[in-house]
Structure formats: C-alpha cells, structure tokens
C-alpha cells in the first residue's frame, strides 16, 4: 500500500514523502497514529500543491538571504571597543557586539547565535566572522574593531 507521510518516521521516510508499506502497517499503525494518509488521487494532488508552495517559500527565502549577504559584504561592519594605550582592547569582541553593529549599521536583525568569530579578537584591526543562515547558507563577513 502506498501512503503519504504527514510526519517524519524513523527508518521509513521524511514528511511529504510517498512510501510503499505493508497494508497492516499502514492501516493499524501509520494512519491511526496520524503519521500518514492513504495515497489516493485527492491526497496526491494536495501533496503536490504543498510541495509547490514549499518550493516557492524556499525560493523567496533564498532570494532574501542572498540580498542580506550582498549588503553585508559591501563594507566591513565597524565594532567599537575600549582600548588601552597600546592598542589592545579590554576583554574581547563578542558575537552580540557584532549582531548589534549589523543591526545599527546595516539594518538587519541577525541572531547572535548564528554568528561565530573566526579568530580571537584582542587588538584593533580587521577580522572575519562567519554567519550561518541555515539550510547550508553560510557566509563570511569582515568587521573592523575601532577604538571608542
């Protein structure tokens, strides 16, 4: 029997996937537990529409991510830090400071948990940070540490 999975099922398949299983497994477990629905013509048509909508949303999200990446790569983000007389900064620059600088200078709200700093920042200068937008979209941006 062919069924369309509504939820991810271990050792069987992912959501919105069409799979073939034994009749008893489908009737006695998958369908009553609301893990799957029978693959009849109307359910197949609904699945096709869901997949089209999902593909449109992913394309729109990817376009937005690419737009944000372009803006972030245009110029380095400037992060202020308190420094001593020798040019060394007190403490270190954190992902939170970079996220705030991006919000203030570029106008995009990026979660600090998505930002990882490549090198340890202890002096004034230009450094790199990596931003993970999810779904395999990772970009590296430059930020400049300036004295306050």
Sheet bearing 36-38, strands edge to edge: 18-20, 2-5, 36-38
Where would I find the H helices in the chain? 23-25, 41-74, 95-106
Per-residue pLDDT of the chain (148 residues; tens, 9 = 90+): 999 999 999 999 999 899 999 999 999 999 999 999 999 999 999 999 999 999 999 899 888 888 888 888 888 889 888 888 777 888 888 899 999 999 999 888 888 899 999 888 888 888 999 999 887 788 898 899 888 7
Sheet bearing 115-117, strands edge to edge: 77-81, 138-147, 125-132, 115-117
Residue ranges per structural domain of the chain: 2-62, 64-147
In this structure, CATH architecture of domain 64-147: Roll (3.10)
Closest CA to 20 of 45, 3, 40, 36: 3
User: Which pLDDT does position 40 carry in this prediction?
Assistant: 93
Which homologous superfamily is 2-62 in? Answer: Ribosomal protein L9, N-terminal domain (3.40.5.10)
Written as six digits, the tokens of 53 are: 């909508």
95-106 vs 41-74: helix crossing angle, rounded to 10: 90
User: Which pLDDT does position 68 carry in this prediction?
Assistant: 86
Q: Provide the pairing of β-strand 138-147 with 77-81.
A: parallel
């Amino acid at each position: 029997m062919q069924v369309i999975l509504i939820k991810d099922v271990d050792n069987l398949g992912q959501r919105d996937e069409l799979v073939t299983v034994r009749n008893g497994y489908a009737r006695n477990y998958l369908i009553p537990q609301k893990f799957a629905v029978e693959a009849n013509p109307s359910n197949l048509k609904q699945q096709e529409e869901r997949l089209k909508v999902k593909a449109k949303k992913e394309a729109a999200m990817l376009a937005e991510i690419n737009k944000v990446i372009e803006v972030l790569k245009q110029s380095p983000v400037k992060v202020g830090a308190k420094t001593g007389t020798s040019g060394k900064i007190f403490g270190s620059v954190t992902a939170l400071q970079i996220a705030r600088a991006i919000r203030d200078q570029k106008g995009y709200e990026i979660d600090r948990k998505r930002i990882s700093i490549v090198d340890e920042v202890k002096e004034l200068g230009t450094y790199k940070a990596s931003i993970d937008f999810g779904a395999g979209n990772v970009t590296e941006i430059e930020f400049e540490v300036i004295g306050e």
